[in-house]
């Protein structure tokens, strides 16, 4: 299942309240904090405790595949 473009445009990081990048309906990403939030069965899991950190290589890979909220609408 994919994340609806309207939903994506209003989602925010639970830590810094900033926008998140959508990565091929697999995850949401905060590039400012380098935090990865999973999407499970089409549902974003925006729990700080479930987020993972991205190292430099993963950060670069994620940014190469990202869709920004404005582009998804």
| Nearest of 11, 57, 5, 7 to residue 30 by alpha carbon | 11
Instruction: Evaluate the CA torsion angle 13, 16, 17, 18 in order and state its sign.
Output: negative
Q: What is the pLDDT of residues 31-63, one digit of tens each?
A: 999 999 999 998 999 999 999 999 999 999 999
In 1-73, DSSP assigns E strands to 21-23, 27-30, 35-40, 43-44, 52-53, 66-67
Q: What percent of the chain has pLDDT over 90?
A: 67
Q: Whole-angstrom Cα distance, residue 55 to residue 60?
A: 9
CA Rg value for the chain: 11
Q: What is the pTM of this model?
A: 0.84
Q: Which domains does the chain have, with CATH numbers?
A: 5-72 (2.20.25.10)
* pLDDT band, very low/low/confident/very high, at 70 (cuts 50, 70, 90): low
């Amino acid at each position: 299942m994919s994340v609806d473009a309207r939903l994506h445009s209003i989602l925010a990081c639970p830590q810094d309240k900033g926008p998140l990048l959508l990565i091929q309906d697999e995850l949401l990403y905060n590039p400012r904090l380098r935090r990865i939030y999973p999407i499970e069965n089409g549902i974003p899991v925006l729990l700080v405790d479930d987020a993972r950190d991205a190292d430099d290589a993963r950060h670069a890979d994620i940014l190469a595949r990202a869709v920004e909220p404005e582009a998804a609408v």
